[in-house]
Amino acid sequence: MSLSSAYSITRSVRPPRAVFLDFPLGHTAGKPGEPELNRDILADALAAFETIDQPGMIVTLPYVWSDDDGWKGRALRETSASAPQDGRNARTATPQYQCEDDAVAAAEAPACASCVWLESS
């Protein structure tokens, strides 16, 4: 089961079963700090196993992020007076961590067997 906030990407990938939630990327299971909403979304996503009967079918859950769609412009990083410029860090080949403990944990983690191909390129 794929739980997605990117409908067009999900449609093009055609996972066997998918649930779409029209929320900002990174918030696919709902808003932070709202455990009841998180549980409801996950319960509805799991219930979709019972209704999805065709490969590639996408079920859209009825939840809304806010009363208006203004968040979509901000999420898409539009530049205007009402939507600030993209404030994310530039992407680099060097891993970026939220804190030093994360960097240490990543350095100490055993090699991922499924990611070995990355080292050979």
pLDDT band at 35 (very low <50, low <70, confident <90, very high): very high
Average pLDDT value for the chain: 81
Task: Give the start-to-end residue ranges of the domains of the chain.
Answer: 2-84
User: What pLDDT does residue 71 have?
Assistant: 80
- Tens digit of each residue's pLDDT (9 = 90 or more) over 53-75: 988 899 999 999 988 888 887 66
Instruction: Check if the beta carbon of residue 103 is closer than 8 Å to that of residue 109.
Output: no
